Amino acid sequence: MTELYFELIDADATVAFGKKLAASLEMPCIIYLEGDLGAGKTTFSRGLIQSFNYQGNVKSPTYTLVEPYELESVNIYHFDLYRLADPEELEFMGIRDYFSGNNLCLIEWPEKGVGWLEPADILVNMQYVDDHRAIRLNANSARGEKILSALT
């Protein structure tokens, strides 16, 4: 399975890389975003979401658990499960419906929802490297493989 690694010099580079990945996505698509607090997961999501012709603000869904972007070309659901106390909450919020459509699901802190989430197409891991960040992407399905191959 394909693994890609890039260093991102600043927040603009993180946004730009989100945009680059967006250009080769195919729906439905599930992306897990792992990495410590402040590693750049939301910044990366911002680039991705904005590239689907969304000019508004992309805020962190830490308190709402999910922020929907129902756009012309795609429905995007941006999750942040950091504050999820009990994974059963995902059942109550109707998590299955988010996975059933032709949607793009971006999921920060997927490890908090183990057992309740569909498997990812792409696993993204962000890390601190000095003042910068690094991003590692792993394909986790045939679709993910195709998307990442298009990036290289």
60 belongs to the binding site for Mg ion (CB under 5 A): yes
d(CA 55, CA 72): 13
43 belongs to the binding site for Mg ion (CB under 5 A): no
What minimum distance in Å lies between the beta carbon of 18 and ligand ADP? 10
Residue nearest to Mg ion (CB): 42
Q: Name residues whose C-beta falls within 8 Å of residue 33's C-beta, 6 or more positions apart in sequence.
A: 41, 44, 45, 106, 107, 108, 109, 110, 124, 126
SS3 (DSSP) at 9: coil
2 belongs to the binding site for Mg ion (CB under 5 A): no
What minimum distance in Å lies between the beta carbon of 108 and Mg ion? 5
Binding string, residues 6-25; x marks residues near ligand ADP by CB under 6 A: --x-xx-xx-----------
Using CB atoms within 10 Å of the CB of residue 94, give its burial: 0 to 12 exposed, 13 to 18 middle, 19+ buried.
Answer: exposed
Identify the residue among 17, 41, 107, 109 touching Mg ion (CB under 5 A).
Answer: 41
Output the six-digit token pair for 110.
């997927």
Considering only 48-56, 83-91, 115-123, 130-138, which stretch makes contact with ligand ADP by CB under 6 A? 130-138
Residues at the contact surface with Mg ion, assessed by CB under 5 A:
41-42, 60, 108
Residues at the contact surface with ligand ADP, assessed by CB under 6 A:
8, 10-11, 13-14, 35, 37-43, 108, 131-133
